[in-house]
Structure 1
Amino acid sequence: MALDEAQRHLLWRLECELHGLATRQDRARLEQLLHPAFREHGRSGRRYNREEILTRLTAESVEVCVQAQDFELQMLADGVCLLTYRSAHRQADGSLRQHSNRCSIWSYEPVAGWQMRFHQGTPSEPFEA
């Protein structure tokens, strides 16, 4: 299953949807997007399971403006993709902080559609937006 441009943009959009507070506070939407076997290795180095992430995200109350760029998508197997990109938090003055390299593994599930199975954030050197 090769991805066409529309499918690539869909995965980028789903990834970025997870950055927004509205989605992060919507447990039902998060359960749609995060595979039941989801795991995360956070930017802090801590590991999380799906339930821990659902609890943490739904408790958030402050919107963070995420600058996400340099997306690359690689097919790992039929219906399984690796999405990599860089992100940072945009401050009120326009500056960026908490620069990270990010990667997510997305799998296509027949009933649920695309779901994130794994995510990792690693601190990185600063970059320009």
Structure 2
Amino acid sequence: MDPEVRTSRALARELLDPEFVEIGASGRRWTYEEMLHALPELSGSAPAGPRYRPSGMTGALLASGIVLLTYETVIEGTRARRSSLWRRSADTGWRMYHHQATPAPATSGDGA
């Protein structure tokens, strides 16, 4: 979520698995190459612009080398629930393999 990483394809490449896929809050499906190309222009990437504010981050070990991370973000008043799968490789360490964002109501009093 750091603008320095989001605007650097080299740094983003270190965090995204080559088989990365994302289902964004808009419903759009992103591949690894599409995300690397678009990330510098997406919300939260401008150093002086709005930033994602994460909260409620929790992780669950699903199997050796596979972690599910869940959390919520807010950017410019827009809230989303997020989940990502991270997998560890002996060669590259931890990388995000899959990410999904789901729009959420603006307040946390939604019964969830």
- TM-score, normalised relative to structure 2: 0.86
Q: Does 1:78 align with 2:64?
A: yes
What SS is found at the alignment partner of 1:65? Answer: coil
Instruction: Give, in angstroms, the shift of residue 125 of structure 1.
Output: 1.4
Unpaired runs of 5+ residues, structure 2, are: none
What SS is found at the alignment partner of 2:52? Answer: strand
User: How do 1:51-90 and structure 2 match up within 5 A?
Assistant: 51-60=33-42, 62=46, 63-89=49-75
Instruction: Give, in angstroms, the shift of residue 34 of structure 1.
Output: 0.2
- The one of 108, 115, 127 equivalent to 2:88 is 108
Q: Does 1:40 align with 2:22?
A: yes
- The one of 80, 100, 104 equivalent to 1:120 is 100
Unpaired runs of 5+ residues, structure 1, are: 1-18, 92-96
- TM-score, normalised relative to structure 1: 0.75
Aligned length: 104
What SS is found at the alignment partner of 2:4? Answer: helix
What SS is found at the alignment partner of 1:72? Answer: strand
CA RMSD of aligned residues (A): 1.4
Runs of 4+ in 1 over 2 A off after TM superposition: 58-64
* Structure that is richer in helix per residue: 1
1:56-111 deviation digits (Å, cap 9, x = unpaired): 0134562332111011111111010000001101x4xxxxx110000010011101
